[in-house]
Chains A and B, each alone.
Chain A
Amino acid sequence: MIKNRFLTISLAIVLVLSILAGCTGSGGSSKDSASNGEVEIKVWLTPQWKGVLDASEDGADYDSFFKHAAKRFSEEYKDHKVKVTVEVVAGDQRDELLNVNLNGGTPPDVFFESVFAMGDYAHRGALVPLNDIVDDEAKKDIAQSHWDNVTFGDDIYFYPFSQNPGTLTYNADMFKAAGLEKYIGGEEEIKTWTLTEYEEILNALKANLPKDKYSNAYPMGLYALNNQGDTWNLAYLRMFGNQFFDNEGNLIINDENGVKAANWLKKIYDDGLTNPGAESVSSNDVNAMFQNQQLAVSFTNAILFNNAKADMESGKAPKFDIRLANIPSASGDPLTFTYVTGATVFDTKDETRIKVSKDFVKFISTDPELVKASKNGVPVRTSVAKEFSAEKPFFAAYSANDQYMFNFTGNVPGYSQLRQVLYPELQALYTGSKTAKEVVESYQTKGNEVIESSKADSVIYK
């Protein structure tokens, strides 16, 4: 009797487990979708710009451009009948969604996103190189610095489409109210201040900003709740000349200049030159505070800046004189970085889908009409930037900044995890539980551990 029961239960368990094993086993196997005639590819993107070419179009949304491009591609593509499905995913859900889908064997075919956020997937062997779809004409039209940004090891993994340079933004009305007229730049200028001037500005804002007009307002936005917007924190840590990565891609923040930069951040925080509670304030909070005129200086990028202006025009946010400035440094040269955005192709193990996906990426990145959409950020193509230079005067200002550009990721493996190491250290700095020296030391040690273990797993370093 007991034996029979045992047998029945055992058989049931074996049966269920073998069914499950059968279900999961097929995930990784390669398959070819060409046999059924129609090739279906999935295109994912995080919110970038609305509309095909412009947000003023009827029904403009984040997927408008890709839906339009997909329709044209399906009509014009000769090799296969193609169906392209487009899906917009939230930026802060990107890694969660991708990791779940990669582990389940169902990655998207194409992903359009900022390159810095996706580099890890190249190191993990989840992306396919795009060298074969990049021609000499494109190489000439797009600056080498952008190609460097999308090259991991020897291969190109992203087709650069547009860029989104990061700067500071300031409320010129608040500057005027604090008697800082001489530091205000032109409306279409990215103003460069020296570090001494910047400190003067922050101190003057703290002392002279009229409390009745700007109650509960602070000179500068500072945040360290999570990894969002951490590129500006990385830039601040370079203020005194630290180069961040050595030639082997290891962190070298723990030196005199790194400590000076961390001390500077702690000092402006302690002196009340920033919003309080930076350790538990997010970049979103800071952005909202700036739009509500509770901060005089904040972080921004080209897209955020345009959105802020649009919000003011539409009455969603209070209207004020908003302008751009560079992140200052001790040397006097501005610190600038850019988010290159572009499309990448995932290794779905399906040769046909990979081929069609590559052709789709080439189509959106080279078609003369479609590449015009890059004007919504800053075009990476010189030809497009030239075409819209009269309409978009900031393009020239961003272009002048190119010479000061630094590659904030260093294209190192494990960058996503490296980002998770920085903000707890900054929190420790602001709460006073660690000194500036301890913070850079600890960040370097933990960061290099992440880089080392990611290098061991990286297909590019193998």
Chain B
Amino acid sequence: MKIIKQSYKENLTGYLFIAPQILLFLIFLVYPIIEGVRLSLFKISYQDEVFVGFDNYRRLFSDPVFIQSTINTVIFVVFIVALTVGFAIFVSAAIFDKNAKYVSFIRGAYYIPVMVSMVVMSMIWSFLLNPANGLIPFIAREMEIVSVNFLGDTKWVLPVIIFVTFATNVGQAIILYIASMIGVPKELLEAAEVDGASKIKVVFKIIIPMVKPTTIYIIIMNIIAVLKIFVVIQLLTGGGPNNASTTLMYYLYNNAFKYNQLGIASAVGVIMFLITLALSIPQLRAMFKEN
């Protein structure tokens, strides 16, 4: 009993050390989550809050715009994450073993868009693509090429947003991959070279398996980031045309801040939280298992 008490005392010191962090975690993460779940079960007006059970969720699933937003979000997640990982592996594997100055140049070139604010990037793309006075449609008209409204055509708007987001974010993944690939033991690569393995074989059989933890990290981080995709939608398309590019986050924002439907917005938040959790758990488990 005495030993247990002593051990508890020792642990208490530990708890005290992590208490500030735990306190902030509880206030800024756990409490908002609990409050979000609570609000999703209420209809909230300026005058009062009325408990409505799962009504907000029922309304959501019968709203075609919410369904469209969910489908669009899934499309964005799948394509942006796949493109980011694929392209970043391709660029990093091609340059990581080259001259250090060259690697730095490529790394910098791809990282610059990451440092630029998404707001600025979106405004530049808007200037380029605006169908009435944008640069690309203007050049297309001057050259008498059939002009496509990239932001107003339901077939084009998703690929354009995928490309813009991918182009802005891929630098981060390239930086991580290059760092990770430089860390791959030289002996493995030299042994492969002695055995006469081709570059493609080296990439697929040695490099990609060796950087798996980085890949998992990039996938998780990108999934979470893309699930929250908002700025580019708000500034480039406003969710249009006819809700063709609305995402869950944009739908949440509209409900929370424009329509003042806090209950509905909280329900969307809870659903997004569950989706993120469901997507992250298997990946995290795989990562820890490996370790």
List chain A positions with a Cβ less than 8 A from chain B: 1, 4-5, 8, 12-13, 16-17, 20, 95-96, 99-100, 102-103, 124-126, 216, 218, 224-226, 275-282, 285-286, 288-289, 292, 294, 416-417, 420, 423-425, 427-428, 430-431, 433-434, 457, 459
Evaluate contact between A280 and B242: CB separation under 8 angstroms: no
Q: How far does the alpha carbon of A420 sit from the alpha carbon of B31 in the complex, in Å?
A: 32
CB nearest to A96 among chain B residues? B257
Evaluate contact between B15 and A8: CB separation under 8 angstroms: yes
Contact with A along B213-241 (1 / 0, CB 8 A): 00000000000000000000000011111
**Residue of A225, A282, A294, A417 ringed by the most chain B CB atoms within 10 A:** A225
Which of B12, B22, B130, B258 touches A420 (beta carbons < 8 Å)? B258
Which of A5, A216, A279 touches B241 (beta carbons < 8 Å)? A279
Which chain A positions have C-beta within 8 A of B277? none
**Residue of A1, A294, A420, A431 ringed by the most chain B CB atoms within 10 A:** A431
**Residue of B133, B137, B147 ringed by the most chain A CB atoms within 10 A:** B133
The answer to whether B273 has its CB under 8 Å from any CB of chain A is: no
Which chain A positions have C-beta within 8 A of B256? 99
Which of A103, A216, A416, A427 touches B242 (beta carbons < 8 Å)? A427
Evaluate contact between B241 and A427: CB separation under 8 angstroms: yes
CB nearest to A225 among chain B residues? B238
Evaluate contact between B131 and A277: CB separation under 8 angstroms: yes
Q: How far does the alpha carbon of A179 sit from the alpha carbon of B34 in the complex, in Å?
A: 68
Evaluate contact between B258 and A416: CB separation under 8 angstroms: yes
Which chain B positions have C-beta within 8 A of A285? 130, 132-133
CB nearest to A23 among chain B residues? B27
Q: Quick check: which of B91-99, B149-157, B195-203 contacts chain A, the rest being far away?
A: B149-157
Which chain B positions have C-beta within 8 A of A95? 257-258, 260
Evaluate contact between A280 and B141: CB separation under 8 angstroms: no
- Asked whether A431 and B242 contact (CB < 8 A) given A16-B27, A275-B132, the answer is yes
- Asked whether A423 and B130 contact (CB < 8 A) given A1-B7, A12-B26, A95-B257, the answer is no
Q: How far does the alpha carbon of A281 sit from the alpha carbon of B11 in the complex, in Å?
A: 62
18 contacts between A and B (CB under 8 A): A1-B4, A1-B7, A4-B8, A95-B257, A102-B46, A124-B46, A125-B45, A225-B240, A226-B240, A275-B131, A275-B132, A276-B132, A276-B137, A280-B131, A281-B132, A285-B133, A294-B132, A416-B258
Q: How far does the alpha carbon of A285 sit from the alpha carbon of B19 in the complex, in Å?
A: 53
Evaluate contact between B259 and A277: CB separation under 8 angstroms: no
Q: How far does the alpha carbon of A277 sit from the alpha carbon of B242 in the complex, in Å?
A: 13
**Residue of B154, B243, B259, B260 ringed by the most chain A CB atoms within 10 A:** B260
- Asked whether A431 and B153 contact (CB < 8 A) given A8-B15, A225-B238, the answer is yes
Which of A5, A102, A294, A433 touches B133 (beta carbons < 8 Å)? A294
Evaluate contact between A16 and B243: CB separation under 8 angstroms: no
Q: How far does the alpha carbon of A282 sit from the alpha carbon of B127 in the complex, in Å?
A: 12
The answer to whether B47 has its CB under 8 Å from any CB of chain A is: yes
Shortest distance from the beta carbon of B107 to any chain A beta carbon, whole Å: 35
Q: How far does the alpha carbon of A126 sit from the alpha carbon of B45 in the complex, in Å?
A: 10
The answer to whether B138 has its CB under 8 Å from any CB of chain A is: yes
Q: How far does the alpha carbon of A66 sit from the alpha carbon of B149 in the complex, in Å?
A: 44
Q: How far does the alpha carbon of A430 sit from the alpha carbon of B132 in the complex, in Å?
A: 14
Evaluate contact between A280 and B257: CB separation under 8 angstroms: no
Shortest distance from the beta carbon of A428 to any chain B beta carbon, whole Å: 4
The answer to whether B262 has its CB under 8 Å from any CB of chain A is: yes
Q: How far does the alpha carbon of A213 sit from the alpha carbon of B262 in the complex, in Å?
A: 53
The answer to whether B23 has its CB under 8 Å from any CB of chain A is: yes
CB nearest to A417 among chain B residues? B259
The answer to whether B21 has its CB under 8 Å from any CB of chain A is: no
Q: How far does the alpha carbon of A434 sit from the alpha carbon of B243 in the complex, in Å?
A: 13
Shortest distance from the beta carbon of A25 to any chain B beta carbon, whole Å: 13
CB nearest to A121 among chain B residues? B46
Q: How far does the alpha carbon of A128 sit from the alpha carbon of B181 in the complex, in Å?
A: 65
Contact with A along B253-270 (1 / 0, CB 8 A): 010111110100000000
Evaluate contact between A276 and B147: CB separation under 8 angstroms: yes
**Residue of A125, A277, A427, A457 ringed by the most chain B CB atoms within 10 A:** A277
Shortest distance from the beta carbon of B143 to any chain A beta carbon, whole Å: 13
Which of B19, B130, B154, B257 touches A277 (beta carbons < 8 Å)? B130
**Residue of A218, A289, A417, A425 ringed by the most chain B CB atoms within 10 A:** A417
Evaluate contact between A423 and B240: CB separation under 8 angstroms: yes
List the 3 shortest-distance A-B pairs measured between CB atoms, nearest first.
Answer: A277-B131, A280-B152, A427-B241
Evaluate contact between A277 and B46: CB separation under 8 angstroms: no
Evaluate contact between A430 and B152: CB separation under 8 angstroms: yes
Contact with A along B127-165 (1 / 0, CB 8 A): 000111100011001000001010111100000000000
Evaluate contact between B132 and A289: CB separation under 8 angstroms: yes
Q: How far does the alpha carbon of A176 sit from the alpha carbon of B260 in the complex, in Å?
A: 49
CB nearest to B147 among chain A residues? A276
CB nearest to A277 among chain B residues? B131
Which of B26, B44, B130 touches A13 (beta carbons < 8 Å)? B26
Which chain B positions have C-beta within 8 A of A431? 152-154, 241-242
Which chain A positions have C-beta within 8 A of B15? 8
CB nearest to B130 among chain A residues? A285
Q: 5 more A-B contacts (CB under 8 A) besides A20-B31, A427-B240?
A: A4-B8, A124-B45, A216-B141, A279-B149, A420-B258
Shortest distance from the beta carbon of A220 to any chain B beta carbon, whole Å: 12
Which chain B positions have C-beta within 8 A of A425? 242
CB nearest to B65 among chain A residues? A424
Q: How far does the alpha carbon of A20 sit from the alpha carbon of B33 in the complex, in Å?
A: 13
- Asked whether A428 and B242 contact (CB < 8 A) given A277-B149, A281-B130, the answer is yes
Evaluate contact between B149 and A280: CB separation under 8 angstroms: yes
- Asked whether A427 and B23 contact (CB < 8 A) given A8-B15, A281-B131, A420-B254, the answer is no
Evaluate contact between A125 and B149: CB separation under 8 angstroms: no
Which chain B positions have C-beta within 8 A of A224? 240
Which chain A positions have C-beta within 8 A of B151? 277, 280
Q: Which chain B residues in 27-58 approach chain A with CB under 8 Å?
A: 27, 30-31, 34, 44-47
CB nearest to B47 among chain A residues? A125
**Residue of B4, B131, B147 ringed by the most chain A CB atoms within 10 A:** B131
Q: How far does the alpha carbon of A124 sit from the alpha carbon of B131 in the complex, in Å?
A: 39
**Residue of B11, B132, B154, B240 ringed by the most chain A CB atoms within 10 A:** B132
- Asked whether A286 and B46 contact (CB < 8 A) given A4-B8, A124-B260, A280-B237, the answer is no
Q: How far does the alpha carbon of A216 sit from the alpha carbon of B260 in the complex, in Å?
A: 41
Which chain A positions have C-beta within 8 A of B258? 95-96, 99, 416-417, 420
Which of B7, B45, B237 touches A457 (beta carbons < 8 Å)? B45
Shortest distance from the beta carbon of A404 to any chain B beta carbon, whole Å: 30
Evaluate contact between B46 and A16: CB separation under 8 angstroms: no
Which chain B positions have C-beta within 8 A of A13? 26, 30
Which chain B positions have C-beta within 8 A of A225? 237-238, 240
